[in-house]
Every structure is written in C-alpha cells, then in structure tokens.
Structure 1
Amino acid sequence: MKLLCLSNGHGEDVIAVQIIKALYQQTDQIEVVALPIVGEGIAYQKSRIPIIAPVKKMPSGGFVYMEARELWRDLQGGLVGLTLAQLKAVQRWGKQGGMILAVGDIVPLLFAWLSQTNYVFVGTAKSEYYLQDEVGWLPQTSFLQRKLGSVYLPWERCLMKNRRCLGVFPRDSLTTHQLQQFGVRAHDFGNPMMDGLFPEVPIVEEREEARSLRILLLPGSRSPEAERNWELILEAVESIIAREKKRRLCFLSAIAPSLDLNPFCERLQAQGWQQNTTNSLSTPVQDKQGLEFQKGVTRLLLTQTAYHSCLLSADLAVAMAGTATEQFVGLGKPVITFPGEGPQYTPAFAEAQTRLLGASVILVKKPSQAATVLHELFSDPDRLQLIADNGKRRMGEAGASSQIAEYLVNQI
C-alpha cells in the first residue's frame, strides 16, 4: 500500500503528518512519501517521511497570491523550474500505482489530478463561511459569487468530481453540505486542524481568586513580517496593561521555532520589560526552555516549544496569524486582531479572516483599541458563550484525522 502526501504550506504539512500518524495506528502495511510544494517540509522531515522531489523555500514564503511583487520575487527565485520538477516527480510516482493525499487548495488538488492515479482531497484553504453563513449570503458576497453557488469554483469542483477522486474532506459542515449539492463525494469528518492539540509542558492552575487573565500573543511565523507584527502587538499589550490596572495579567507569546528570538526580546526590553534570570517559573505555562519577562506585576512568556500549552491555557488572543488563530477560535475562545503591512496579514487578509471565523474574531483598526474590546468582552458572559459556540461550529470537531485515515485504509 503506497501513499503520497501533497501539501502546500507549513500548516498543511502538519495536517498531513497528523493524518499519517493516525494511518500508522490503523495499519503497518503502508509506504508513505511526501512532497511539500511550498517550503522545505520541516514537519515531514521531523517525522522522517521521505520527500520525493526537490523543495525550496521561496522568497514569498508561499504567499504569492497576495501580491504581484511577491510572485515576481518567487519567479526570480526559480519557481517555474521547481514546480515543473515537482510535477514530473508526482507523475513518475503516479505511474507506480498508489493513492495521493492532497492537502490544501487547488495546487495540490491539481497535482493529484495530473498524476493519473487515485486521490483524496483535504480542503483546508476554503470555506463557505467566506461567502455565506447558516442564515444566507453575506452582504459583501458579489452577484457572480452567488451565481457560481460555492466558494469552490466550477473547475475545482470538476477536479473533486473526477472518477479518480475517491473522497473530499472539507473543513466544516457548511462547506461539506454545499459541495454535496454539486455532486461532490464530500464527507463531514470534522477538521484535522483541531487534532493533536495536547500540552507540550505542564499548565499550572492558579487559585480562582489569584488567577490571571491569560492573553495569547501570535505574531505569525514569517520573517520579517512577524517582527513587524510583534511591534504592533506590543502596542496592544501596553494599552491592555494601562486599561486593566486592577486585573492580574499574564501574556503567553507563541513564537514560531523558525524565527530568531533576539528581535522579540530586544523589543520587550526597549519597552521596559525585565527578563527573569532565576530558575523559578512564574507563568502558568511551565516551559523551562522559554524566556520569562516581567513589567511591574505583569508577566510575559516567550516560547518556541510550548505552542499547544499556550493555546490551551489562554483565555483570549491578540493575533496576527493564520492557522494558529483558527485553531484558537476552534477551542471556543475570542481573538482580537488588526491588520499589518503583510505580505500575509494585510487588511484584506484580516477582513477575510473575520468572514471565515465570524463573531469569534474582533477586527479593530488600531492596536490601541484592543484594550477597550477586551474590557467589553469580559463584561459580557453571553457574548463569550456566543463566541464559544460559534468557534466550535465554524472550525469543526476534533477527530477528523483518524476518520480520514480509516477511510483511506478502506479505499486502498
């Protein structure tokens, strides 16, 4: 039994690995290889899954659809040659027979179709929530989009309805039901993005009367954008500290392992944060490899190894990220966000994210407005409950990886 995983982004690589792990739990009669179309496939490398073709980190980081300038930089960096080499490798592999697991958007789906072998598709990039909700079309949805009838365009649906496409797994129930109306073999198994969220380090529960409000900080994973986002996020942090003087606050900063921590530390120290040089851990997330800072009575953790622990521990996030924001919303928690310079987290991206995630994401124009939103949120229990229900509905249930793995075993 042979399986090739195609994915186009770090988040998609992680989802593919999650499904592979579930697959290994159900059968040992499987040979898995991978091709990360975007990036170097670090998630596959960590899991010791062989990569069948050349890979390269492009200047855009995979966000070529954001700006023409980014696409031009990628073209200069060898995008065309790399893509052709990858496509030839997929077609060679397809001639041997086997199944392809395509994770992401139209790109891995198209590669799978061109392979001339059977495939399944895990759609992570698109959701009907961009265009409509359970009530109906959103006001900003155009006449043409309504006519087309789905966030998935006709040619994408054609690839999904191909006889060699043995199954499609959208990210939420609304999208699944819409695709089923077009004759796509779509299955509502939940969202693999919500699987595997287990704490890497212990989380200490504080006494209720002494419990801090825990705020997750997510600047994104791409340099130098993440460092620019960090400066904006710290503006929001300062406004929250100034507004919530009577409340105990703890900030949990999840920084991507691929980033250099020094610029983040330097910016904190420039704003008066003092690094904790003792061996004692003062934040609820007990990460011995993390760096702790203090400003007055407020604590802040910088970690590159306890992302899930921060996600699970925090009450609210100030975020300028993609996948991480979605996972946090899926846990039923609120997010405050504001646009940056990009190339990923632009005003257009932030606006689209609010359509995708609905009431769970509060988009403000300036970082300084975060404090007012936070105060209003935690003064309104009904709104917090609405956000909890909304997030779990829009992001889907956990457990999809094992169900997709079982489906693959049955198909193969």
Structure 2
Amino acid sequence: MHRILFISDGHGEDWVAAQIASQLTRLSAQRDLGALELRALPMVGDGHSYERIGVPLALTTRVLPSGGFTFKTLRGLWLDLRSGLAGYGAHLVRSVRGLADWADLVVAVGDILPLSLAWLTGKPYLFVGCTKSDYYTEGAYSCYFPWERALLHPPRCLHAFTRDRITCRNLRLHRVPASYWGNPMMDGLEWDDTHQPPRPEGTFIGLLPGSRPGEAQRNLLDMLRCLEAVRHHLGGPVHFEAAISAGLGLESFRRQAAPLGWQDRGEGRFERNTTAVVLRTDNFSAVLHRAHLLIAMAGTATEQAVGLGKPVITLPGRGPQFTRRFAYLQRQLLGDSVRIVDVAPARRPEAVAGTAADLIKDRERLRQFARNGYERMGGAGAAGQIAAFALDQLPRRVRGGTPQSRG
C-alpha cells in the first residue's frame, strides 16, 4: 500500500491537484503497482474538486472570509484573524504532523503555504507551482523568494514543476531541480460535443464570475448590467451562458438577479427585456470550448480560457480575489488575450460592448490569441507526466534521477 497526501491552497490549486490525483489512479492501475491510497488537504475552501473524483479529504477545512487571499490585503487579513485564522493555522499544522506517519509522499500544489506544510511532514515531497510565474517579473528574475527556493532543494523536495518555461529557467539558475512539462491547469478540460446540442446561431459569449461565495454573486451582477449593451452592439443573435461553480448552486444568483429586473424562466434561464442568459453548474468545459469570447472575473478559469485561445474581457471587481490590482497582474501574466475594461460603472456597459465587438471581428487577432494562449499556458498532458514521476518515487522513497524538461 502506497499513500500520497495532496496539500493545496485554493480553488484553482485544488483543480490542478485533482487532475494529478486522477492520473495517479489511472496510471497505478495500468502499471499494476498494487494498492494506492490518496488523501487531500485543501487548506482553503470545500475541496469539491477532490470529492468529484473520489479522493477523500484528510480533515474538515474552513472557508475563510478572504476566500484564501489572507495576505493580499489588510482587510482580508483582518477578516480572517477575526474568524480565527491563528487557531485554524495551528490546527492545520497539528493535522499535517499527524498525517506525516501515514504518508509515503506529499504533493504540494500552490505556493509557500502548502510547500511549508509539506516540509513540516518530514516526508519527501513534490512541488507543483501553479500560482507563481516570472511573467509577473517580465522574466527578469525568479519570482520565488530565497526562503521559498530553500524549500525546493533536495533531498526533501524531490522536484519542482513550474507553470511556464521562463519560471523553470530562472529556478534552474538558482540550482533548483525544476521542470516544465506544460501546465496541469489545462488538463481535465476535454469536451466531447458529439451528443451535445449544436452551438446556438450567432455569437456565443461565456460568463465566468469566479468560485468564491459572495464574490461570485457580485461579479455576476456586474456582468449582467453589461449584457443588453453587448447584445445591441453586436447585432444578430447573441447567446450568453454563465458557468457557475457547482459548490455555489444557483439559488443565491437567482435572488440577486431579480432586483435588476431579470426574470427566472426556469432551468437556469433568465430574461430581461429581449436579452437572455443561461446559468448552469455543469457546463464549465462546454462554455470554454463553445464561446467566441468570455467575460471573466475569475482566476484559474480565466487562465484556462486564454490557454484555449479565447479572447477574454475582464472587469476589475470588489474582491477579495478579483480586484483592480489582481486584474492588471493577470493581464501581465496572460498577455494580449486579456482586455481590461477599467472605467466608471456607468460607462462600463458601453465600454464592454465596444471591446467585445472589436475583439470578435478581428480574425487575425483571434489567430494571435491562439498562439499567445499556448505560449502563456502550455498544452494539456502535464498532469499525467507529473503523476508518472510521482509513481516512480514510491518504491524507493527517494528521488531517482532528474526528468528531462521541455523548458
């Protein structure tokens, strides 16, 4: 029996870890390696991504008021401290130490927080750095601080896997054993349209309001205020569809849309005057693949849309995640595929509509978005390769050879 513990610290990080866990299960069965037991410790959130693929949670975790962005703003830190952040942090440390005897290998996904907890276990660990990128520093130097790089060296850290080539290159300059095999964020997005209804005639626009309770509802309301202007500006049929996180449900969105004049027509369809939008919780990959353009106020989902070659319009929000600062940092990370509409709320509908028309009508620019998306986000397949490397470590319990990086 081999046991692997996953530690992650956010919705997107949970997604990435779940893709690797799913591939571990598949490859273990193919290789006939015997029993493999997986557990997950999602430090922030409900762990829905893990539960969806049948990986049990190692302990009950909490949803913090900041949505996991404790140290991004003073307000987020204050809210989390008031809700018992210090006690919760101590609980996580005690729990991880208690799990140390159980685990043979730890996979830390995210940033310094899961990386530190992996180190505290005293067990060998892999690190998947899906949040930090040297695109933020324009490639000039490593975005990983010296104390983070200290946790990425052997023998305890078996290997680090980065989200892009330039981050891998700069970590290697600091003698960190790192590889870039693609971005596991792009795994798990497969969509088979064989048995699906055809894409509606006209323009299909997807809405990605994010996954954090409270914030996602506010974000969607900001988007809804723009839809009539977008439809009038584009002309012809325009189909709007929102991908709602399964953990949020639709009821809270329904309650908040009603005061804006949106009438519930059933089955997730809402109408206001002659504009309609569909809200669903089971359509994420379909929306990404079918959309000609997306309006997004999300983290991982925006990155995945760009990775699929889609143009994205973002609106700076009220946080805790999708603030003005976050939007501009995301634009720096993802390049020209993202357009930020940063105007006064009263001017936003017309500005969004004009930007949408500009993006959709320029065919050469659409081809550029596909190239940029692959450069910034890579292709699918990294989760399977990271899982294969993890399995190779289990019989020996020590690192066996450095994998060949594509970066």
2:119 corresponds to which of 98, 101, 113: 113
Q: Percent identity?
A: 41
Conserved? CA contact 1:203–1:313, under 8 Å: no
Which residue of structure 1 aligns with residue 399 of structure 2? none
Q: Distance in 1 between matches of 2:89 and 2:165?
A: 33
CA distance change for structure 1 residues 239 and 182 in 2, over 3 Å: closer, same or farther? Answer: same
Equivalents in 1 of 2:25, 2:58: separation in Å?
20
How far the C-alpha of 1:312 sits from its partner, in A, is 1.3
User: Residue 20 of structure 1 aligns to a residue in which SS?
Assistant: helix
5+ long unaligned stretches in structure 2: 29-33, 395-407
Q: How does 1:1-80 map to 2 (within 5 A)?
A: 1-27=2-28, 28-80=34-86
* 2:379 paired residue number: 397
Cα distance in 1, alignment partners of residues 287 and 60 from structure 2: 34
Does structure 2 conserve the Cα–Cα contact (< 8 Å) formed by 1:5 and 1:35? yes
Give the match for residue 321 of structure 1: 298
| Residue of structure 1 aligned with 2:268, choices 291, 294, 305 | 291
User: One-letter code of the match for 1:45?
Assistant: E
1:84-95 maps to which residues of 2 (within 5 A)? 84-95=90-101
SS in 1 for 2:160: strand
Distance in 2 (CA, whole Å) between partners of 1:83 and 1:196 is 31
- Contact kept in structure 2, 1:218 and 1:319, CA below 8 Å: yes
Q: Is the 8 A contact 1:54 1:86 kept in 2?
A: no
Offset of residue 173 of structure 1: 1.8
The letter for the 2-side match of 1:318 is: I
Q: Hey, what's the Cα distance between the residues in 2 that align with 1:132 and 1:354? A: 12
1:22: Cα distance to partner? 0.5
Contact 2:168–2:180 (CA<8 Å) still a contact in 1?
A: yes
Change (3 A) 1:249 1:268: farther
For 1:207-246, what aligned pairs fall within 5 Å after superposition? 211-245=201-235
2:128 alignment partner, one of 112, 122, 127: 122
d(CA) in 1 for partners of 2:273, 2:237: 11
**Structure 1 residues 95 and 291, CA, compared in 2 at 3 Å: closer, same or farther?**
closer
Tell me the CA shift for residue 298 of structure 1: 4.7
In the alignment, the residues of structure 2 paired with residue 73 and residue 187 of structure 1 have an alpha-carbon distance, to the nearest angstrom, of: 37
> What is residue 146 of structure 1 aligned with on the other side?
none
User: What letter matches 2:153 in structure 1?
Assistant: K
Q: Who is 1:195 aligned against?
A: 187
CA distance in 2, matches of 1:38, 1:262: 23
Secondary structure of the corresponding residue to residue 206 of structure 2? strand
Please point out which of 280, 293, 315 is paired with 1:338.
315
Residues 304-334 of structure 1: CA distance to partner in whole angstroms, max 9, x if unpaired? 1111111111111011111111111110101
Q: Does 1:410 align with 2:392?
A: yes
1:155-200 Cα offsets, whole Å, 9 max, x none, are 1111112421111111112211221222111111111111111338
2:177 aligns with one of 177, 185, 190: 185
Q: Distance in 1 between matches of 2:213 and 2:163?
A: 28
Residue type at the aligned position of 1:304: T
Moved more, 65-74 or 391-400: 65-74
Comparing 48-57 and 95-104, the one that deviates more: 48-57
Structure 1 contact 199–306 (Cα < 8 Å) conserved: no
Find 2:242's aligned residue among 230, 253, 256: 253
Q: Provide, for residues 235-258 of structure 1, a one-character-per-residue CA deviation record: whole Å limited to 9, x for no partner.
A: 22122122123x220001111223
Q: SS in structure 1 opposite 2:150?
A: helix
> Helix, strand or coil for the counterpart of 1:160?
coil
**Structure 2 CA distance for partners of 1:152 and 1:377, relative to 1, 3 Å:** same
Q: 1:226 is matched by which residue type in structure 2?
A: A
> Contact 1:200–1:306 at 8 Å: present in 2 too?
no
Shift of 1:78: 2.1
Q: How much has 1:349 moved relative to structure 2?
A: 0.6
**SS state of the match for residue 374, structure 1?**
helix
SS in 2 for 1:26: helix
Q: Give the corresponding residue for 1:157.
A: 149
Contact 2:315–2:341 (CA<8 Å) still a contact in 1?
A: yes
> Within 5 Å, which residues of 2 pair with 1:343-362?
343-362=320-339
1:116 aligned partner, one-letter code? G
Secondary structure of the corresponding residue to residue 100 of structure 2: helix
> Counterpart of 1:211 in structure 2: which amino acid?
E
Partner-residue secondary structure (3-state), 1:378: helix
Letter in 2 for 1:21: S
Contact 1:16 1:103 in 2 (8 A): yes
Is contact 2:133–2:167 with CA below 8 Å preserved after alignment? yes
Counterpart-to-counterpart distance in 2, 1:229 and 1:36: 24
| Stretches of structure 1 lacking an aligned partner (at least 5 in a row) | 138-148, 278-289
Task: Tell me the matched-pair count.
Answer: 382
**What TM-score results when the alignment is normalised by the length of structure 2?**
0.88
Shift of 1:269: 4.9
1:280 corresponding residue in structure 2: none
Equivalent residue number for residue 384 of structure 1: 366
Distance in 2 (CA, whole Å) between partners of 1:53 and 1:263 is: 27
Conserved 8 A contact 1:53-1:86: no
